[in-house]
Amino acid sequence: MSDYYNAFETSPVPPPGPDAVPPEPFRGIYGMPAFATIPTNDLAASVNFWTRGLGFFELFGIPGRLVHLRRWAFQDVLLVSEESVPEQAPAMSLSFACVLSQVDPLVEACRALRPDCVDGPRDTAWHTRDVTVITPENARIVLTAAKPFDPDSQEARNLAAVGIVHPDAGRGDNGEHA
């Protein structure tokens, strides 16, 4: 089995599939291996968009100063009150994993809050469905969902060409890859 698919055994991100279910919200405290700090000049409006549109929840906050938001484990954002924010979205993006069943509801929720903030969804060459959202703080957020594996697809042949084989593909009687 390739390391790519072994990673799903320890990841909070579920393996791709039509019945993939997002993990339960994790409210525990841990040493965050990575997080984004996003300045906002309207903390309440930002929290509203991130929670109602992007599906985050408020983990804790310091009134008027900072709100720590989380979606899944290791998907943490700190919204920090600042006097001003950039007028344009930055060139970089911050991506968060989701599952396919979340894509359309997230698009609808974001468009209901800010009609022109969504680009997509679109299917990528790396076998995901992505949605780009520009938040009220002008942060470029990409929600990315792995698509179910089709062993006969061009994507599967591309992955196999670089040595990544789906765990259910090419197995012999003893469970080893052929």
Percent of the chain with pLDDT over 90: 49
CA distance 129 to 127: 7
CA distance 81 to 13: 30
**Least-confidence region, from 27-41, 134-148, 159-173:** 159-173
pLDDT band at 56 (very low <50, low <70, confident <90, very high): very high
Q: Nearest 5 degrees, angle CA 27-CA 28-CA 34?
A: 95
pLDDT digits (tens, 9 = 90+) for 108-133: 999 999 999 999 999 987 788 999 99
The residue assigned the tokens 């990841």 is 11
pTM of the model: 0.74
Domains and CATH numbers, the chain: 3-25+33-161 (3.10.180.10)
Q: Does residue 174 register a pLDDT over 60?
A: no
Task: Give pLDDT, residue 48.
Answer: 97
* Bigger pLDDT: 25 vs 165: 25
The residue assigned the tokens 């291996």 is 33
Task: Give pLDDT, residue 6.
Answer: 54
Q: Does residue 176 register a pLDDT over 70?
A: no
The H or E element spanning position 91 is none
CA distance 113 to 52: 8
Task: Give pLDDT, residue 172.
Answer: 40
